[in-house]
Amino acid sequence: MYTYILERQQIVPRSRAETFAFFCDAFNLERITPPFLKFSIVTPKPIHMQEGTLIDYALNLYGLPFRWRTLIERWQPDEKFVDTQLNGPYALWHHTHTFEELGPNRTLMRDRVLYRVPFGVFGRIAHWLFIGRSLKVIFDYRARATAEMLGATREESSPVTLRVVAKPERSLSV
């Protein structure tokens, strides 16, 4: 099974604490997710974010409804948090969100996702045909929505990069 990496960064014209607060509010994820996914959080409000928090989602992709459950694996307020898929469409989904203060009201927000697609060669073909492209569309939408809500500009967002980081014969620690 191949391991892929998705990376994106964006400069947000807000303090690190304010930027972190926006991204650690799980319900903002609904606001920055493209409508075509029909994404909703099914975990009841309020969700208190910390290490060990479980969050359940419902979404629809290519006409297929499914559930997704994540665990907040690491929690470092104002600096970083990591969510890991426990149940969902991927064989691995390990998403690291980091926040670096660049100045009084400038924060560099980074997404780094390690993921694996199940189903062997069929999963690799699906990744090549549509999964990789879909992830780029989703993260591009997230950057635009974030820019609109937090006042960032398009120029302050990097393009999504996707690449293979480990082939089946290599191990990868997350």
The pLDDT tens digits for 107-135 are 999 999 999 999 999 999 999 999 999 99
> Which CATH number does 3-166 carry?
3.30.530.20
Distance CA 82, CA 113 (A): 10
Residue 7 phi/psi, 5-degree rounding, is -135, 145
Helices (H), the chain: 16-23, 26-31, 120-126, 132-150
- Domain boundaries, given as residue ranges, for the chain: 3-166
Average pLDDT of the residues in 168-172: 52
DSSP type of residue 35: G
**Tokens 């591009």, residue located:** 140
Express each pLDDT in 69-111 by its tens digit: 999 999 999 999 999 999 999 999 999 999 999 998 999 999 9
